[in-house]
Structure formats: structure tokens, C-alpha cells
Amino acid sequence: MASPDHPAQTLTFRCPAELEGWLPPPVPAAQGLPDWLKTMPQQAFSPMAGEDDDTVKRCPPFIDAMTTGFLIPLICDLRVENGEFSWDEELPPGGAVGFARSPIAFHDAAQVTGTPLADDDRFLVKFHNLWTIQAPEGYALMFTHPVNRFDLPFTTLSGLVDSDRYHESWIHFPAHWHDEGFCGVLPKGTPIAQCFPVKRETWTARTEVFTDDDAQRAHGLMATIAREKGVYRRWFRA
């Protein structure tokens, strides 16, 4: 939520007029949480501890990563059977601007030669995204696999795009289809990527050893965390 100290910034998503109302829009990541997260318990019995313990549903960093930024959706239903991809939905005819006519394409395996993804017998999937995205001046966009979405049968590759400058054409998303046994339909709107605005700044790193005061504060905080629940949520979460 915006505040006077942290005013809201805007990402502008544009699509060809022919696709308005047909193309599923990007959604704030907080609105696209998976059903498994919504239905999972906040606590579960731990045989090691011999008592109930918090699940990741009560871990603010886990949740905050999943609810930050925006999710880019699959443009139409995608059927997968025996390693073959198909779709029935016809995209509206193009007009002044040409755009991809399919939800996916492929990258030749040669393009990832030398990486752990290289496989002579497999292509990389490329999800088509038909929204151009403009970030505010000074910001890039980090595109990556939807955070903590291990349930998806693919893994989207990560990339950083200077979207304050490059925003008049589309950004498509290469992905490694890791579930070779998947058979079924990925529904229209399935998140295929998550994007986070990143301000372009120059950073340096420094290393230090604990002072006596540092050690005392660290010891005190760890003792509090061991004694109480929700310390990070109550004291530190922005």
C-alpha cells in the first residue's frame, strides 16, 4: 500500500487494440496465489519436535516474495499430450501491429549450449507474452519464474530488462519444461512469469566482524526469536 513516504509507482501494460478484452491481464502477485497455499494449514505436527510447528504459510519472507510484483498470464489454454503441445483458441486477427499467433514457440537447444539446460533431444519452450511493459524512469524489471510455484511443470528462465527504455515491443519468456510426464491442460491465465521493478543503482559490498555490541544485539535477538513467535512479523516486516 502506498504512503506519503513511499508513493505508488506505475507499470504500464499495453496490448494491441484487437486483443483488448480477450487477452488476460497481468495481475498483482498478491491476487494470484495458488490454491495449495490458500488451503494449506498454518501449523502442522512435527515428528522431530513432537509438537505442532509453523508452516511456510506463516513465514513472511516466503509469502512476501510470492505477493510482490505482477504475474504475467498464459494467453490461452495449452494442452499437453505425450510431449506434444496444442491449443484450440484462435487469436483475434492482427491489425496495425503484428504479433505472435500462438501461446508458445521454441528455442533451439543450441541456444543453451554449455548450460545445464542443454539437451540435444529437447527444445526450450518460449511462452509468448502480448503485453508491452513500461517501467518508470530509472527502473528495470526482473522477470523470473513465479516465486515458489514448484507445482508448475515448467521453470521460467530469469532475465533483467531495462523496461523504462525498452517498452515498445514484447518480452517473451523461455522456460525449461521439466515435467516430461505432464499430461493435461494448462489453463488460460496460468502464471508464466513474475516481474519485480528494480531501481538501477550502483552498489558495493563491504565485510566487517562483529563488535561486542553487534554480538550482544545478535544474541539478544536470537534469544527473543527462540522464546517468542512472530518476532520478524511484529518488529521488522515493512
pLDDT band at 52; cut points 50, 70, 90: confident
Q: CA–CA distance from 132 to each of 12, 17, 88 (Å)?
A: 8, 13, 24
Q: Name beta bridge partners: 73.
A: 191
Number of Cβ atoms within 10 Å of the Cβ of 95: 11
Element (H, E) at 222: helix 212-227
Q: What are phi and psi of 6, to 5 degrees?
A: -135, 75
Among 95-99, 162-166, 180-184, 233-237, which range has the highest average pLDDT? 162-166
pLDDT 10s digits, 174-185: 999 999 899 999
Distance CA 12, CA 103 (A): 22
pLDDT band at 91; cut points 50, 70, 90: confident
1, 9 in Cβ contact below 8 A?
no
Give the type of residue at 189: G
* All three cell numbers of 135: 517501467
pLDDT at position 6, please?
63
Q: Name beta bridge partners: 85.
A: 80
Tell me the mean pLDDT in the region 193-212: 97
Q: What are phi and psi of 171, to 5 degrees?
A: -115, 115
Distance CA 173, CA 142 (A): 12
pLDDT 10s digits, 127-164: 999 999 999 999 999 999 999 999 999 999 999 999 99
| Mean pLDDT taken over the chain | 92
pLDDT 10s digits, 4-29: 666 679 999 999 999 999 999 999 99
Q: Is 227's pLDDT higher than 60?
A: yes
pLDDT at position 202, please?
97
Element (H, E) at 86: strand 84-86
* All three cell numbers of 113: 549450449
Contacts of 201 by beta carbon, 8 Å cutoff, 6+ apart = none
pTM: 0.91
* All three cell numbers of 127: 511462452
Q: Where are the domains of the chain?
A: 12-102+127-170+180-199
Among 51-60, 105-114, 197-206, which range has the highest average pLDDT? 197-206
Cα 184-190-192 angle, rounded to 5 deg: 110
**96 vs 23, residue with greater confidence:** 23
Tell me the mean pLDDT in the region 212-219: 97
